[in-house]
C-alpha cells in the first residue's frame, strides 16, 4: 500500500511514546498558543482550567495568565467545534472547521433538542436576539443574555439556554469572549474573528485528517472518527486523501497512521501530570494501550481524569486542592515510581508551579 512503511519493530509501548512526541509533550517547540492549537487541530476544553494546563504543558515559557489573555484577545477560541463539547481552536480554522463539523454535532443534539422543544424557529429567533444584544462588540455572559430571551418568550432553563448558545456557535453567530470574573462571555464572531478563505468540503476533510494524524499519531481510522465526530465514511475520505503524506504500521492487528517525519522519543525517563480530558487520553477511541502497566484497571471516566503518565503509560492519578498560599497535590501511584523517574516527577511538579504561579506542596 502506498504510504506504508516497514516499522516492524513498533509495539504498543512505542505507540504511546510516539504520541507523547507528536503531541509536543516530550519536546515542546511552540511558544504561541494559537500555533500549538492549530497544529493539534483542536484541544478539548470543557474543563477550562484543565484545558489550559493541557496547552501549557505543550508550550515553552507559558503561564496560566498568558493563556487567559490568549482567549481574551481571540488568539484561541473556545467553542463547540468537534463533538458536542467545547474545544479550543485557532481563529483562522474556526469557520472552515465549523462548516465541516456543525451538521454532525447538530445531528448528535437533535434528540435532546426535540425533547426540550428546541425548534428551528426558536433557534432563528434566538440568533436574531443575540445579534442585537451583542452588536458593537458587546461582551455578555449567560446571566446577562438570558433575560432578553425570556422577554421574547423563550425559556432559559439550563438545557435550553445552553442549547441555544451552542446552536449560535455552530451557526457562526457567536464565539467565546474574555472572562468577566469567573463568568465566560460571548461576542459576535464577525466582529472579532477575521474572515479567511473558505475550503471545499473535500479540502476540509483532508486538512482535518492531516492535522489529527500528524499531531496525534500513531492513531487508527476509528480513533480519528471518534475525535472528529465525523462518520467513518467521512473520516475515511479524509484519510484516503492524505495517505501519501503519512506512513502506517500494523500493531496487534490494527493499522496506525502517523507523520512520515519519524520521531525518536528521548531515552530519558518522562513523567507528566496530565489534566482531565487531555488530548493524550481523550483523543483515541480505544485507550487500553495507555494502561498496559496497570492492566487496564482504571474505569473509562477515571482514565479521562487527571492521570500520571510515565514513559507513555498511565501509572496513577492525581488531584489538586487550591489553598490560600499554595496548591496541594495528592498523587496516587498504582505502579510504583522508579527512583530513576523521581527527577522527572520533580520537574513536572515544578512546571505546574511555574505555570500556575503558585507554590506546590505534596500531600
User: Is residue 236 exposed (0-12), middle (13-18) or buried (19+ Cβ within 10 Å)?
Assistant: middle
Q: Is the pLDDT of residue 346 over 80?
A: yes
pLDDT at 265: 66
41, 187: one domain? yes
Average pLDDT of the segment spanning 132-159: 96
* 57 in any annotated domain: yes
* 226 in any annotated domain: no
* 337 in any annotated domain: yes
Q: Which residues contact 213 (CB under 8 A, 6 or more apart)?
A: 219, 224, 239, 242, 246, 257, 258, 259
The C-alpha cell 504543558 sits at 57
pLDDT at 4: 42
* pLDDT bracket for residue 262 (50, 70, 90): low
Domains in the chain, number: 2
Cell of 71: 482567549
pLDDT at 8: 58
Q: Which of 191, 219, 248 marks a domain boundary?
A: 191
37, 158: one domain? yes
Average pLDDT of the segment spanning 224-251: 97
pLDDT at 266: 64
* pLDDT bracket for residue 296 (50, 70, 90): confident
Classify the C-alpha dihedral 226-281-98-128 as positive or negative.
Answer: positive
Contact 181, 143 (CB under 8 A): no
Q: Which tens digit of pLDDT belongs to each residue from 317-330? A: 999 999 999 999 99
* 213 in any annotated domain: no
Q: Is the pLDDT of residue 1 over 50?
A: no
Q: Which tens digit of pLDDT belongs to each residue from 302-316? A: 899 999 999 999 999
* 75 in any annotated domain: yes
3-state SS of the chain is CCCCCCCCCCCHHHHHHHHHHHCCCCCCCECCHHHHHHHHCCEECCCHHHHHHHHHCCECCCCHHHHHHHHHCCCCEEEEEECCEEEEECHHHHHHHHHHHHHHHHHHHHHHHHHCCCCHHHHHHHHHHHHHHCCCCCCEEHHHHHHHHHHCCCCCCHHHHHHHHHHHHHCCCEEEEEEECCEEEEEEHHHHCCCCCCCCHHHHHHHHHHHHHHHHCCECHHHHHHHHCCCHHHHHHHHHHHHHHCEEEEECCEEEEECCCCCCCCCCCCEEEECCCCHHHHCCCCCHHHCHHHCCCCCHHHHCCCEEEECCEEEEEEEEEECCCCEEEEEEECCCCCHHHHHHHHHHHHHHHHHHCCCEEEC
Of the two residues 11 and 158, the one the predictor is more confident about is 11
pLDDT at 2: 41
* 12 in any annotated domain: no
Average pLDDT of the segment spanning 217-244: 97
pLDDT at 158: 75
Q: Is the pLDDT of residue 159 over 50?
A: yes
Q: Which tens digit of pLDDT belongs to each residue from 175-195? A: 999 999 999 999 999 999 999
Contact 24, 268 (CB under 8 A): no
d(CA 126, CA 122): 6
Question: Domain residues for 52?
Answer: 29-191
* 79 in any annotated domain: yes
Q: How far is CA 320 from CA 55, 65, 194, 329, 331, in A?
A: 18, 18, 38, 5, 9
284, 138: one domain? no
d(CA 33, CA 236): 29
Q: Which of 144, 163, 191 marks a domain boundary?
A: 191
Q: Which of 123, 157, 191 marks a domain boundary?
A: 191
* 17 in any annotated domain: no
Task: For residue 249, report the phi and psi dihedrals to the nearest 5 degrees.
Answer: -145, 140
Mean pLDDT score of the chain: 94
90, 184: one domain? yes
How many other CB atoms sit within 10 Å of the CB of residue 119? 11
40, 160: one domain? yes
59, 171: one domain? yes
173, 277: one domain? no
Q: How far is CA 261 from CA 17, 215, 234, 246, in A?
A: 15, 11, 25, 9
Q: Is the pLDDT of residue 3 over 50?
A: no
Lowest pLDDT segment from 31-40, 266-275, 327-336: 266-275
User: Is residue 259 exposed (0-12), middle (13-18) or buried (19+ Cβ within 10 Å)?
Assistant: middle
Amino acid at each position: 500500500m502506498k504510504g506504508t512503511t516497514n516499522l516492524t519493530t513498533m509495539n504498543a509501548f512505542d505507540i504511546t511514546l510516539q504520541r507523547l512526541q507528536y503531541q509536543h509533550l516530550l519536546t515542546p517547540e511552540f511558544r504561541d498558543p494559537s500555533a500549538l492549537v492549530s497544529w493539534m487541530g483542536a484541544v478539548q476544553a470543557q474543563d477550562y482550567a484543565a484545558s489550559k494546563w493541557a496547552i501549557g504543558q505543550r508550550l515553552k515559557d507559558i503561564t496560566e495568565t498568558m493563556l487567559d489573555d490568549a482567549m481574551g484577545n481571540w488568539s484561541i477560541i473556545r467553542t463547540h467545534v468537534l463533538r458536542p463539547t467545547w474545544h479550543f481552536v485557532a481563529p483562522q480554522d474556526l469557520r472552515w472547521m465549523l462548516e465541516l463539523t456543525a451538521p454532525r454535532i447538530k445531528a448528535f443534539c437533535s434528540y435532546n433538542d426535540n425533547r426540550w422543544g428546541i425548534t428551528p424557529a426558536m433557534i432563528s429567533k434566538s440568533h436574531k436576539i443575540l445579534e442585537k444584544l451583542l452588536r458593537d462588540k458587546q461582551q455578555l455572559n449567560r446571566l446577562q443574555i438570558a433575560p432578553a430571551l425570556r422577554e421574547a418568550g423563550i425559556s432559559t432553563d439550563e438545557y435550553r439556554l445552553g442549547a441555544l448558545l451552542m446552536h449560535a456557535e455552530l451557526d457562526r453567530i457567536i464565539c467565546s469572549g474574555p472572562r468577566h470574573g469567573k463568568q465566560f462571555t460571548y461576542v459576535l464572531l464577525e466582529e472579532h474573528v477575521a474572515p479567511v478563505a473558505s475550503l471545499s468540503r473535500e479540502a476540509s476533510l483532508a486538512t482535518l485528517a492531516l492535522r489529527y494524524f500528524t499531531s496525534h499519531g500513531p492513531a487508527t481510522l476509528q480513533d480519528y472518527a471518534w475525535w472528529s465526530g465525523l462518520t467513518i465514511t467521512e473520516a475515511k475520505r479524509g484519510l484516503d486523501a492524505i495517505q501519501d503524506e503519512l506512513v502506517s504500521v500494523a500493531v496487534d492487528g490494527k493499522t496506525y497512521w502517523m507523520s512520515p517525519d519519524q520521531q525518536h522519543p528521548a531515552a530519558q525517563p518522562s513523567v507528566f501530570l496530565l489534566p482531565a480530558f487531555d488530548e493524550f487520553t481523550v483523543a483515541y477511541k480505544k485507550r487500553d494501550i495507555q494502561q498496559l502497566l496497570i492492566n487496564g484497571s482504571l474505569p473509562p471516566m477515571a482514565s479521562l481524569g487527571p492521570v500520571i503518565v510515565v514513559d507513555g503509560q498511565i501509572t496513577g492519578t492525581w488531584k489538586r486542592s487550591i489553598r490560600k498560599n499554595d496548591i496541594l497535590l495528592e498523587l496516587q501511584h498504582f505502579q510504583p515510581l522508579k527512583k530513576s523517574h523521581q527527577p522527572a516527577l520533580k520537574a513536572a511538579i515544578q512546571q505546574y508551579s511555574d505555570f500556575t504561579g503558585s507554590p506546590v506542596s505534596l500531600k
